[in-house]
């Protein structure tokens, strides 16, 4: 959740309503963020902090040995049921709740290594074996662990290491016969099998295969822009008094060309629905799996074997290196505040982390900027109403006390006009203070004040202007120390910025049954981040770019031909293929504070009935489209049929409920029941919906999945092709949605051994997906594997006999 939990929001809104009118006016009319923070912060009383503390207490983020045992036992149940993926996740939860160098953590690591072994994750399994041993895995259980290590090494083609492990194990048996006779016999049999495998491997030359593919990080821009780091030389930066900063093509750009590749300045993992402790219930631990259990909290990489923070159970990382980097840069401060940050929401967390990361740049300049703008000039962290600003930098030596003013045409650029992909660029993102409601600003100001009080009470060196381990000076509440007040204003600025400037980092997540041969996916929000260069792009409801992510790295590619001089645009969310013009404009106005006048919006305003029949109804008599507002009339020349819109909307809602019920049966494996329901839905939809209606496509897609699960590939392909027609009408033939649907059709043809059709569809899907993702996308790699397999099946043509 972006904003604080509902209970805190309601509490602060009530507090606002009880304030004297004069104080409300003072806060509402504050001209600067410094004034807003100065007037709001003293209003946070001890009883408010106690209420917030009680709310935060519902989040269990500390270490708990009882939780470790609970999750280990739940993992064992999954393991025995051969659900190794589920077992690995639960063992990871046990690891997170265990203290370092404890028996609990060593047992969880060892058990997780067993689950990873069965999942074929041999390298990761070896790492967990080492971790279990490092944390004091019991001596009596070591033989099992060493056998698993030997089997991993054999499978990975490392026979010398496996042989040494076997020798160590035999020596251990001889030196410490701690096993019972039956256990010894079982392990001896396994050991003999491993030794045979080792001997077989030793007779073969050891091969160290090179990486099969380049890593994503190796994909670079063809030619990087000298003035905009992380952007292509095909774009340039411009500024306009109304539009602000924006990017323009300096030459014709072809579809698929990489325009921006940028690592986030700051990102915070979206925790998902982190459950609160249900007080009064026997079990306070939840086995629900969230993004926080499956992704590194620093680099966002997917991992089945996270390494936990030593101080809390919430933060998890893909490696020891990521954990150390996070600790050094921000988590040493955040660790003790985990429950509070979950309560105050993602925006507050991103605001805190942004200021923490600022310490690692030119600290003197950052502090000077913040303090300088709180000077007697009265321009304390203001928004720029004019995009042309004058920034002051000390260009002289120590003896030069005189600042030289250098005019820079675009905020966020240095004195040479180069756009800075750093805290300076983040600082200059507009918070739009005048557009936020007084209540929202008060909520943000008190949330930041509460966070600052906690930092001060903990005596953390969060905001010291050097990086030495000094502590904040104590101050009597409710007055914050001067330095912390400066950074509090900065955090307030960032929190207000995020509504318009936050970028959701998304990932493609597989949905449906694990056993399904046809991949169904959805896009999910993984994290909230700030990207200095990506933030330069303006919105269009029909953008000419496509944005994708690998970890914290964003890439922007041209999704169509962009002519020289055209603006580079992407979509902030409301897209013409997903909603009508009125809904789009309302959403953009409420979140981003502007009225969209992009070509699709202008076109739809002039011709409201234009565009695809995404929500079109048709006459049940003559099948012609129905037109009108509250009462719809048939557009057929000879038909006089009319019907209430409310009646049709009610019928559509009933149909959607039936489709949802059928999809639930499909997910639970009740295929015949699902098919019968879906065929009924299909018949009902044909009687009153246009053939291009999105619900029609949804029904056809579900039928395709059901028939695929039954192995009826021909029927599956027929329904999926109908779904493709709907997707093309709504999103266009070159859209990313079309690429995903073509990928599914290729899978159907491949599994049905329809070789020519599969090869043709693979080619179409590759062409579309390459434009949006480049060659390193998982679906593109899968398409290439299918194509290689099919080409091997094709008969080699025989030439004419001479």
Give the pLDDT of residue 795: 61
Give the pLDDT of residue 513: 54
Residue 609 near residue 627, CB atoms below 8 Å: yes
CA distances (Å), origin 778, targets 85, 218, 545: 20, 16, 20
How many alpha carbons fall within 13 Å on the CB side of residue 121?
A: 17
Residue 448 near residue 334, CB atoms below 8 Å: no
How many beta carbons lie within 10 A of that of residue 459, not counting itself? 11
Residue 263 near residue 552, CB atoms below 8 Å: yes
| The two three-digit tokens of residue 394, written as one number | 């000390």
Contacts of residue 19, Cβ cutoff 8 Å, sequence gap at least 6: 43
Three-state DSSP at 219 gives: coil
Residue 742 near residue 761, CB atoms below 8 Å: yes
What is the SS3 string spanning 621-657? CCCCEEEECCEEEECCCCCCCEEEHHHHHHHHHHHHH
CA distances (Å), origin 704, targets 101, 417, 459, 610, 732: 52, 55, 60, 30, 21
- CA 746 and chain centroid, separation: 27
| The two three-digit tokens of residue 70, written as one number | 């609970």
Give the pLDDT of residue 389: 33
User: What does the DSSP assignment read for 82-139?
Assistant: T-HHHHHHHHHHHHHHSPTTSHHHHHHHHHHHHHHHHTT-HHHHHHHHHHHHHTT--G
Contacts of residue 2, Cβ cutoff 8 Å, sequence gap at least 6: 345, 346, 347, 498, 499, 502, 528
Give 10-residue mean pLDDT values along the chain (802 residues): 92 96 95 92 95 91 92 95 94 94 94 94 94 91 86 85 79 62 54 54 37 44 86 92 90 94 95 58 70 93 93 94 94 93 96 88 53 44 33 32 48 84 88 94 96 82 43 41 78 95 87 61 88 94 93 94 95 86 91 91 70 66 83 85 88 93 90 94 91 91 92 94 92 89 93 92 93 86 90 61 50
Give the pLDDT of residue 487: 82
The model scores a pTM over 0.75: yes
CA distances (Å), origin 734, targets 437, 508, 543: 40, 18, 13
Q: How far apart are CA 541 and CA 799, in angstroms?
A: 54
Q: Find the farthest-apart pair of alpha carbons in the chain and give their distance in angstroms, rounded.
A: 103
Q: How far apart are CA 266 and CA 354, in angstroms?
A: 6
Give the pLDDT of residue 169: 74
CA distances (Å), origin 345, targets 8, 203, 265, 444, 636: 10, 59, 19, 10, 54
Q: In what order do the strands lie in the sheet with 626-628?
A: 626-628, 631-634, 642-644
| The two three-digit tokens of residue 703, written as one number | 């039928």
**Beta strands 520-530 and 235-240: pairing type?**
unpaired
Residue spans of alpha helices (H) in 327-431: 332-334, 338-344, 346-358, 363-372, 423-427
Q: How far apart are CA 562 and CA 540, in angstroms?
A: 14
Three-state DSSP at 751 gives: helix
Backbone angles phi, psi at 302, to 5 degrees: -70, 135
Q: Give the closest residue to 498 by CA, choosing from 550, 437, 433.
A: 433
Q: Is the dihedral of CA 619, 621, 624, 628 positive or negative?
A: negative
- φ/ψ region of 711 (left if φ > 0, alpha if ψ in -120 to 50, else beta) reads left
Backbone angles phi, psi at 297, to 5 degrees: -75, -5
Give the pLDDT of residue 51: 96
What is the SS3 string spanning 448-486? HHHHHHHHHHHCCCCCCCCCCCCCCCCCCCCCCCHHHHH
Three-state DSSP at 600 gives: helix
Give the pLDDT of residue 363: 43
Say which residue the tokens 């077989």 belong to: 200
The span from the first CA to the last CA of the chain, in angstroms, equals 75
Residue 259 near residue 235, CB atoms below 8 Å: yes
Give the pLDDT of residue 484: 76
Give the pLDDT of residue 273: 66
| The two three-digit tokens of residue 618, written as one number | 């048709």
Q: How far apart are CA 566 and CA 578, in angstroms?
A: 24
Q: Give the closest residue to 489 by CA, choosing from 435, 449, 429, 528.
A: 449
Give the pLDDT of residue 475: 35
Q: How far apart are CA 195 and CA 138, in angstroms?
A: 24
Q: Give the closest residue to 499 by CA, choosing from 453, 437, 555, 556.
A: 437
Neighbouring-strand partners of residue 527 = 269, 505
User: What does the DSSP assignment read for 282-350?
Assistant: S--------HHHHB-TTT--B-SSPEEPSS-SS-EESSHHHHHHHIIIIIHHHGGGHHHHHHH-HHHHH
Give the pLDDT of residue 467: 39
């Amino acid at each position: 959740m972006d904003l604080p939990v509902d209970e805190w929001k309601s509490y602060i809104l009530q507090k606002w309503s009880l304030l004297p009118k004069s104080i409300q006016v003072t806060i509402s009319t504050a001209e600067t963020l410094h004034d807003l923070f100065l007037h709001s912060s003293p209003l946070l009383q001890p009883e408010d902090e106690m209420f917030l503390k009680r709310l935060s207490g519902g989040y269990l983020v500390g270490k708990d040995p009882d939780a470790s045992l609970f999750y280990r036992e739940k993992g064992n149940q999954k393991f025995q049921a051969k659900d190794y993926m589920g077992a690995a996740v639960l063992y990871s939860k046990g690891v997170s709740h265990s203290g370092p160098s404890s028996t609990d953590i060593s047992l969880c690591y060892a058990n997780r290594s067993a689950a990873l072994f069965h999942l074929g994750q041999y390298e990761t399994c070896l790492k967990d074996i080492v971790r279990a041993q490092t944390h004091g895995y019991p001596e009596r259980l070591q033989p099992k662990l060493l056998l698993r290590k030997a089997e991993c090494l054999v499978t990975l083609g490392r026979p010398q290491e496996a042989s040494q492990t076997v020798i160590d194990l035999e020596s251990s048996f001889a030196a410490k016969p701690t096993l019972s006779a039956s256990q010894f016999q079982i392990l001896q049999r396994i050991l003999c099998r491993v030794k045979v495998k080792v001997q077989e491997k030793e007779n073969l030359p050891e091969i160290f295969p090179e990486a099969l593919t380049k890593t994503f990080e190796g994909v670079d821009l063809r030619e990087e822009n000298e003035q905009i780091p992380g952007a292509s030389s095909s774009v340039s930066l411009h500024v306009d008094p109304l539009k602000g900063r924006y990017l323009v093509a300096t030459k014709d750009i072809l579809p698929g060309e990489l325009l921006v590749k940028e690592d986030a300045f700051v990102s915070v993992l979206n925790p998902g629905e982190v459950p609160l402790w249900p007080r009064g219930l026997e079990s306070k631990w939840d086995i629900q799996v969230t993004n926080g259990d499956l992704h590194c909290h620093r680099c966002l990489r997917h991992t089945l074997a996270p390494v936990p923070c030593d101080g809390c159970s919430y933060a998890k990382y893909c490696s020891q290196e990521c954990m150390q980097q996070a600790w050094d840069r921000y988590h040493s401060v955040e660790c003790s505040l985990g429950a509070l940050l979950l309560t105050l929401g993602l925006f507050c967390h991103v605001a805190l982390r942004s200021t923490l990361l600022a310490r690692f740049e030119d600290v003197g300049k950052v502090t000077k900027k913040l303090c300088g703008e709180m000077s007697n000039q009265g321009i304390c962290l203001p928004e720029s109403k004019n995009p042309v600003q004058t920034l002051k930098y000390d260009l002289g030596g120590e003896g030069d006390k005189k600042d030289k003013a250098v005019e820079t045409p675009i905020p966020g650029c240095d004195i040479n006009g180069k756009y800075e992909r750093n805290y300076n660029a983040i600082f200059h993102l507009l918070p739009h203070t005048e557009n936020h409601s007084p209540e929202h600003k008060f909520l943000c100001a008190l949330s930041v004040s509460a966070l600052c009080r906690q930092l001060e009470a903990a005596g953390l060196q969060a905001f010291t202007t050097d990086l030495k381990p000094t502590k904040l000076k104590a101050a009597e509440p409710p007055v914050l120390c001067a330095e912390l007040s400066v950074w509090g204003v900065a955090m307030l600025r960032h929190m207000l910025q995020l509504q318009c400037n936050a970028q959701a980092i998304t990932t493609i997540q597989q949905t449906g049954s694990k056993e399904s041969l046809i991949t169904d996916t959805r896009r999910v929000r993984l994290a909230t981040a700030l990207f200095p260069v990506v933030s330069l792009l303006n919105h269009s409801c029909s953008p000419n770019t496509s944005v994708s992510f690998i970890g914290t790295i964003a890439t922007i590619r041209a999704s169509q031909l962009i002519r020289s001089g055209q603006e580079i645009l992407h979509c902030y969310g409301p897209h013409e293929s997903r909603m009508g013009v009125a809904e789009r404009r309302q959403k953009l106005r409420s979140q981003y504070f502007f009225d969209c006048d992009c070509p699709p919006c202008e076109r739809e305003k002039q011709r409201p009935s234009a565009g695809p029949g995404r929500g079109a109804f048709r006459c049940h008599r003559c099948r012609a489209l129905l037109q009108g507002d509250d009462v719809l009339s048939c557009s057929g020349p000879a038909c006089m049929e009319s019907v209430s819109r409310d009646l049709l909307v009610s019928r559509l809602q009933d149909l959607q409920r039936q489709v949802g019920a059928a999809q639930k049966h499909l997910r639970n494996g009740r295929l015949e029941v699902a098919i019968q329901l879906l065929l009924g839905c299909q018949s009902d939809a044909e009687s009153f919906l246009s053939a291009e209606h999105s619900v029609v496509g949804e029904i056809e897609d579900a039928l395709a999945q059901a028939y695929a699960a039954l192995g009826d590939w021909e029927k599956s392909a027929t329904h999926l092709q109908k779904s493709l027609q709907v997707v093309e009408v709504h999103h266009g033939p070159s859209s990313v949605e079309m690429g995903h649907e073509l990928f599914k059709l290729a899978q159907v043809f491949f599994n049905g051994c329809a070789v020519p059709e599969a090869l043709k569809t693979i080619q179409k899907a590759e062409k579309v997906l390459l434009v949006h993702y480049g060659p390193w996308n998982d679906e593109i790699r899968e398409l290439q594997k299918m194509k290689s397999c099919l080409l091997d099946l094709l008969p080699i043509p025989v030439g004419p006999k001479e």
